[in-house]
Amino acid sequence: MVLRTRSAIVGATLLGMLLVAVPAWSQSDGKPAPTYSADIAPILQRSCQSCHRAGEIAPMSLMTYKEVRPWARAMKRQTASRSMPPWHYDKTIGVQHLKDDPSLSDAEIDMIARWADAGAPEGNPADVPKARAFKNFNDWQIGEPDMVVKFPAYPVPAAGPDLYGDLLAEIPIDEDRYIQAIQTRSSTPESHKVVHHALSYAVSRDAVQKGMAGEGGAFLVEYASGKNAEVYPEGTGVLLQKGQMARLSYHLHSVGKETRAEVELGIKFYPKGFVPKHVRWSRQLAQPTSPLDIPANTIARSDGYTQLHKPARIIAFQPHMHNLGKRQCLELIYPSSGTRMNSEIVSCANFNNNWHLTYNYADDTQPLVPAGTVLHNIQWHDNTKDNPRALDPKNWVGDGQRTIDEMGFFWVGWIELTEEEYQQQLAERRERQKRATSSDAGQQQQR
Ligand code: HEC
């Protein structure tokens, strides 16, 4: 008994010495294991630290080896399931070039797994790239705004469930104005910690008075911690009408001490009387053709359609569902030419009600669509026990405004084009695609 224990200790010590003497090797392929310094730190800088650093929304900081080391296995798990970074866009279907895409490649996910399996070695600290500079959360990224609209402060208790709801504020303008750039920010360091995300809309006073401002209005800007301000594409603007109010749809969470959530909108306007060449529209489109009908223990599919009457350039796609939301796809059904494929799926994304993500197409991949194109929403709601957010899969669920009711539409951001502009932009894009040596699989087909 005594002897065996001893030899086990000797063995363990020898093994320890071996591990110190040579670099860690991954068991599977005999290649040296990735190290934190050379391989993992660059990934964290690009895709994780915007949220995982002191004062940001994520529960822990991932800025140094010491901070990262204890999370190696959790990082392997969360990246393998593509839960982290939060980005639920389907990489196998449709348009693939998106703006500000933080997602990891399969090779990076594999690298994190091999690194964790090898015991999360540090490597040579000199290999860590220079720290990335992050903007102070409280800097206006759009420059000094012309107007700041403050929403009423909202008390968030020290502990409790996440809070969802709406706040309203006046927008003091005396004539219609076009917005050139807009940003939402939390006004204080402490409220920065409790605001998970917030969407703002311009709503009519009429809708507010009728108590219908809830899910409507013209979308202005999204705020999610770790996300950049939105500057509308060159030459485009969003119309703000005199008399409209600002509505903030918020998702707040408790952080262990009572906190006041304070959020404000900074707006830069085009000069008075100026009308930009293009209005950037953002609307809830393709509502289900009949009220949602989601039986117990079922994954239910439903469909919605919206026709665009003018040629358009589609800029952004954002699924909107509630807890049962599982997946949405945007299909473009073109006015038939009789000879060519006349529909295609340009985007699919899984849905998770904790994260309302906007997918902004890269300039070169923004779908260009002819007048009469139908936007087809194909969506699935998961009312089974496999969905951790399904409150009670034994019950039927239908449409409604409450969080426990369901919704299913998408926000689409687009600009309208004249027939001439459409033909010209289409020709330019075809030219570019011809010049590109390697054809880029999965990009939108051009008609
Ligand atoms: C947009 C902000 C954001 C980004 C980017 C992000 N995270 Fe997170 N992460 C969070 C939040 C918030 C949580 C807490 C759980 C939740 O809300 O989903 C979290 C949770 C986690 C957890 C689980 C912690 C636990 O308690 O088990 C891990 C591990 C993790 N993130 C790793 C990463 C890695 C690795 C990356 C980059 C590849 C990353 N995250 C990118 C916001 C982010």
- DSSP line for 17-77: HHHHHS--B-TTT-SBPP-IIIIIHHHHHHHTTTTSSTTSSSSS--SSHHHHGGGHHHHHH
Average pLDDT (187-192) is 82
Instruction: Work out the pLDDT band at 59, boundaries 50, 70, 90.
Output: confident
Contact between 126 and 37 (Cβ < 8 Å): yes
Looking at the predicted structure, is the pLDDT value of residue 441 above 50?
no
Contact between 104 and 47 (Cβ < 8 Å): yes
Nearest to 274 by CA among 379, 418, 177: 177
Nearest to 23 by CA among 42, 13, 37: 37
Report residue 344 CA to chain centroid gap. Answer: 23
pLDDT tens per residue, range 229-285: 566 777 888 889 999 999 998 888 888 899 999 999 999 999 998 889 888 888 889
Nearest to 325 by CA among 346, 298, 351: 351
Q: Is 238 touching ligand 1 by the criterion CB < 6 Å?
A: no
Average pLDDT (134-156) is 86
CA angle 88, 93, 96 (to 5 degrees): 75
Q: Is 47 touching ligand 1 by the criterion CB < 6 Å?
A: yes
**Low-confidence winner among 6-10, 152-156, 332-336 (lowest mean pLDDT):** 6-10
> CA-to-CA distance for 275 and 279, rounded, in angstroms?
9
Beta carbons within 8 Å of 65's beta carbon, 6+ residues apart: 36, 37, 41, 122, 125, 128
Q: Is 52 touching ligand 1 by the criterion CB < 6 Å?
A: yes
Here the tokens at position 333 are: 């059904």
For residue 61, the CA-to-ligand 1 centroid distance in Å is 10
Nearest to 442 by CA among 99, 60, 98: 98
For residue 99, the CA-to-ligand 1 centroid distance in Å is 20
> Domains in the chain, please, with CATH?
24-127 (no CATH), 147-276 (2.60.120.310), 281-435 (2.60.120.230)
Looking at the predicted structure, is the pLDDT value of residue 158 above 60?
yes
Closest ligand 1 atom to residue 77 Cα is 29
Looking at the predicted structure, is the pLDDT value of residue 5 above 60?
no
Q: pTM for the complete prediction?
A: 0.82
Q: Is 355 touching ligand 1 by the criterion CB < 6 Å?
A: no
Here the tokens at position 409 are: 């539409």
Nearest to 278 by CA among 311, 242, 324, 318: 311
Nearest to 51 by CA among 189, 196, 182: 196
pLDDT tens per residue, range 120-129: 999 999 999 9
> CA-to-CA distance for 347 and 317, rounded, in angstroms?
8
Closest ligand 1 atom to residue 47 Cα is 37
Q: Is 80 touching ligand 1 by the criterion CB < 6 Å?
A: no
Highest mean pLDDT: which of 107-111, 253-257, 435-439?
Answer: 107-111
> CA-to-CA distance for 107 and 283, rounded, in angstroms?
37
For residue 356, the CA-to-ligand 1 centroid distance in Å is 15
Hey, whose CA ends up nearest to atom 42 of ligand 1? 58
Nearest to 379 by CA among 344, 348, 358: 348
Phi, psi dihedrals of residue 14, rounded to the nearest 5° = -60, -45
Closest ligand 1 atom to residue 74 Cα is 29
CA angle 314, 267, 134 (to 5 degrees): 85
